[in-house]
Amino acid sequence: MNKKLKNLFNFTSIMIGFLGFNLSLEAKKNKVESLYKNYCLTCHGKNLEGGLGTALLNLKWLDPRMNDTFTSIVQKGNIENGMPAFDSVIEKEEIRALLVYVQEKSTYSKLDSEKPLSSDASGIYSTQHHDFKFELLHTLEEGIFWSLHFLPQGEILLTQKEGNLFLYRNGFMSKPIRGPKIRYGGQGGLLEAAAHPEYRENGWIYLSYADSLDNNRTSMTSIVRGKILNHRWVEEEMIFQAPKRFHTSQKKHYGSRIVFKENYLYFSVGDRGDASGAQDLKKPNGKIHRIHLDGSIPSDNPFIGLKNAYPTVWAYGVRNPQGLVKHPDLNEIWEVEHGPRGGDELNLIKKGTNYGWPEITYGINYNGTPITSETKREGMEQPIYYWVPSIAMCGIDFYTGKSFKKWKNHLFIGALKARQLERIQLDRGKIIEHEVIFKDKGRIRDVASGPDGNLYFVMDSLDGNSGASVLCRLVPVK
């Protein structure tokens, strides 16, 4: 062993033994940045660039198969390289937090070294399979477009978070149509819109929103349906409304996407800031729900026979599911959710399945403190993929058009924090291609495959302008 490293190792071991219990207690209070500073910085460098110890900006740590290896090295040490064991002073969940920190830094370092994703002088973006141009269709000077949905006749139905609906067609945006009474604030407001599968015949439109039963003191996700006639929202019917005891003053994690499948309505409800509630089958929060299109409850829902279980629950253990979509060919339901820091997920939703939040997660709290050391547990489903760092994904859709032929049935995911649009090709539940195709124009909230073959999305903070929300599309270059 190098003499300098050996002396450092001996000194560190003595200090660890001397401080012992007190250090362990203090570490429990620390954020991950403090953990790294206290235990890792001296050897591995301020920016993980290395020094007395090895550099940690190594892409191998991004491989999920290395998770256990990292934990083992930190716990047991590496005497040959002069690294002491830290199992007596750093808790296992704190080691998990340190791994997230290392993965974040490694990813950002990789992104900094890559060529920025941008168009050429003629405005053409080049990706793995297709070239396209970006077209801005409409700017909403105030407020936020939250979702877009194509109606059968080609109109785009858009929701504005502040409570309005809009109809867009052939370059013309309608005047605002006032929707149901909502609780606006934080992440709450008017959220998803989706047309009934037989919309041409019945005209029903379903909306999810932040609903209050006590003059906006508390709220919960609700689903209504109604119709747009003579530019007015009319014939409103409540489809899902949780009892007041489940409403909360929290203004976050509403979830709120809608999917139709085999004449059932599936919708997501976030944990509403009550993480443990996602595991409690008596509560509606942190769940994927399934009901009939008129709001009645199917008799074959998975927890119908369980005492006190909320009867509409289809799957549970989700955090803030802001993307939900049905595969166009396979009849599967796919979900993406805002995880904690380093724990955004892509999940295949299955009947009666527990997706683990918050008992298992690949992330940590946003303030840098650990949540748990567990990423796997018997009886809890693993994500198909997870993102470190978190990208804050939002709306998703499968591409079903003909203009981008090589994108058929690929999944597109919008991201808020990362300000990007991702493309994922799936095969038998596994990712075989993954690409960022558009980036840094704005925070992408929802994406939809258009009947004209173009790919549409809404985003806010266009080019850094926080006062503008826009409707736009990607058009192929022949």
Domain of 135: which CATH number?
Answer: 2.120.10.30
Are the CB atoms for 193 and 207 separated by under 8 Å? Answer: yes
DSSP-assigned beta bridge partners for residue 387: 344
Known catalytic residue at 289 = no
Chain-centroid distance of CA 242 in Å reads 23
Q: What is the mean pLDDT of each run of 10 residues along the chain (478 residues)?
A: 46 40 43 94 92 86 85 89 90 95 92 83 94 96 95 96 97 97 96 98 98 96 98 98 97 96 97 97 98 98 96 98 97 96 97 98 96 96 96 97 98 96 96 96 96 97 76 95
User: What's the first-to-final CA gap in the chain, in angstroms?
Assistant: 62
Whether 382 is in a domain gets the answer yes
Same domain, 108 and 161: no
Helices 92-113 & 67-76 angle (0-180, nearest 10) = 120
* 62 and 136 housed in the same domain: no
The answer to whether residue 217 sits within a structural domain is yes
CA 285 to chain centroid, in Å, comes to: 16
Residue with tokens 């979509």: 325
Residues 453 and 318 occupy one common structural domain: yes
Provide the residue range defining the domain that includes 386.
Answer: 124-476
Q: How far is residue 199's CA from residue 197's CA, in Å, rounded to a whole number? A: 6
- Is the domain of 101 the same as that of 150? no
Last residue of a domain, one of 50, 80, 113: 113
Instruction: Evaluate whether residue 201 is within a structural domain.
Output: yes
Closest CA to 382 of 357, 415, 365: 357
**Same domain as 234, residue 90:** no
Same domain, residue pair 88 and 133: no
* CB of 103 closer than 8 Å to CB of 61: yes
Calpha distance 67→125 (Å, rounded): 36
Contact assessment for residue 150 and residue 140, using Cβ atoms and an 8 Å cutoff: no
250 CB-near residues (< 8 Å, 6+ apart): 186, 272, 273, 274
Q: Burial letters for 99-114: b for 16+ Cβ neighbours within 10 Å, e otherwise? A: bbbbbbbbbebeeeee
Residue type, 396: I
- Counting Cβ atoms within 10 Å, is residue 122 exposed (0-12), middle (13-18) or buried (19+)? exposed
Q: What is the pTM of this model?
A: 0.92
Quote the tokens at residue 321. Answer: 């599911």
Q: Within this chain, do residues 7 and 81 fall inside the same structural domain, yes or no?
A: yes
Does some domain include residue 118?
no
Asked if the structure places residue 79 within a domain, the reply is yes
Provide φ and ψ at 91, rounded to 5°: -65, 155
Q: What's the CA gap between 197 and 19, in Å, rounded? A: 66
Q: Are residues 159 and 286 in the same domain?
A: yes
* Side-chain-facing half-sphere of 169: CA atoms under 13 Å: 10
119 within some domain: no
Residues 176 and 104 in one domain: no
Element (H, E) at 361: none
Residue 211 lies in a domain: yes
Q: Give the domain-ending residue among 73, 90, 113.
A: 113
Q: Give how many domains the chain has, as a whole number.
A: 2
Dist CA 421 CA 401 (whole Å): 17
CATH number of the domain to which 72 belongs: 1.10.760.10
Among the listed residues 44, 130, 196, 253, the single catalytic one is 253
Distance (Å, rounded) from C-alpha 376 to C-alpha 38?
Answer: 28
Residues 109 and 130 in one domain: no
363 and 215 in a common domain = yes
Does one domain contain both 163 and 234? yes
Domain end position, chosen among 113, 144, 175:
113
Q: Which amino acid is at 346?
A: L
What is the rounded CA–CA span in Å between residue 4 and residue 52?
9
Q: What is the CA radius of gyration of the chain?
A: 24
| 424 belongs to a structural domain | yes
